[in-house]
Structure 1
């Protein structure tokens, strides 16, 4: 049921977001405590503001009411993915080259399952990450299909 709700929500949200020049980052449908939450994360270069999220929420809420994919009470939340936005698709990697990222893998590469560093490139479905170990700078190539989770990572200089 959750995947069906996510798919319907994505399909309903896309035309709304295209009209507003916004990107659909992710849809989550989760049970937390006694409540169900349908969360829609949107973004654009430079970030989204609360007014844009409010407009998306109003329009999407109307569409969800028309199509009624959820037949019990839930909360709809529309927001920015934040500074540590997830990288879900190859296009996300391509548009964030040069930025600091955190990547968790399904299996070890060079004895490690987690890397944090700068995304140097994304070619042939492989992300190249540059990171430091003590004073040495190293690079690692990570196949896209081995990535369990990836997101932008905030650094403090």
Structure 2
């Protein structure tokens, strides 16, 4: 799956950037016969429906020509939103002090789910404070991480 993710990023990111948007992240979820390709885009001025539609049209054409996904799939283009997913170490670093929910691919100290405050990054690890304990979570073990919005 990581190979497919890397292939899709190499194909899609230049197209997204050519339209003036930042590729916040890509989720490739293959579950049996149903595949979902979710692309998150961002821009300093925000993202609206028209931006998502323009990027979706552009990526659809690119995906039709290059055909990196052999079976049927659904393409979704979205803003990261307030509960934005975090994909990279740089994104975690940019959100130090924010509260997040993190789900790991495999258990660490007997648990897969953590909720705490991002305290920083060290090498390839996210420093997450949960109550009075700090965890060093390697970025490649994180399956999913999302900001918890404050209202």
User: Which TM-score band applies after superposition, normalised by the shorter structure?
Assistant: 0.7 to 0.9
Give the TM-score normalised by the residue count of structure 2: 0.74
Name the SS of the counterpart of 1:97 in structure 2.
Answer: coil
The structure-2 alpha-carbon separation of the partners of 1:67 and 1:94, relative to structure 1 and needing over 3 Å to count, comes to same
Whether the 8 Å CA contact 1:6–1:28 is kept in 2: the answer is yes
Match of 1:22 in 2: 22
Larger-gyration structure (1/2): 1
Q: CA RMSD in A?
A: 3.1
Gaps of 5+ in 1: 133-137
Name the SS of the counterpart of 1:51 in structure 2.
Answer: helix
CA–CA distance in structure 1, aligned partners of residues 26 and 49 of structure 2: 17
Which structure 2 residues correspond to residues 63-78 of structure 1 after superposition, within 5 A?
Answer: 63-71=62-70, 73-78=72-77
CA–CA distance in structure 1, aligned partners of residues 14 and 56 of structure 2: 13
Whether the 8 Å CA contact 2:41–2:80 is kept in 1: the answer is yes
Name the SS of the counterpart of 1:69 in structure 2.
Answer: coil
Which structure 2 residues correspond to residues 1-157 of structure 1 after superposition, within 5 A?
Answer: 6-19=5-18, 20-31=20-31, 35-44=34-43, 47-71=46-70, 73-105=72-104, 106-109=106-109, 112-132=111-131, 138-144=132-138, 147-155=141-149
**Per-residue CA distance 1:71-110 (angstroms, 9 max, x = gap):** 554332211233333322211211211211112343334x
Give the TM-score normalised by the residue count of structure 1: 0.72
Gaps of 5+ in 2: none
CA–CA distance in structure 1, aligned partners of residues 99 and 31 of structure 2: 31
CA–CA distance in structure 2, aligned partners of residues 29 and 16 of structure 1: 21
CA–CA distance in structure 2, aligned partners of residues 3 and 108 of structure 1: 21
CA–CA distance in structure 2, aligned partners of residues 128 and 143 of structure 1: 7
Whether the 8 Å CA contact 1:53–1:78 is kept in 2: the answer is yes
Q: CA deviation at 1:29?
A: 4.2
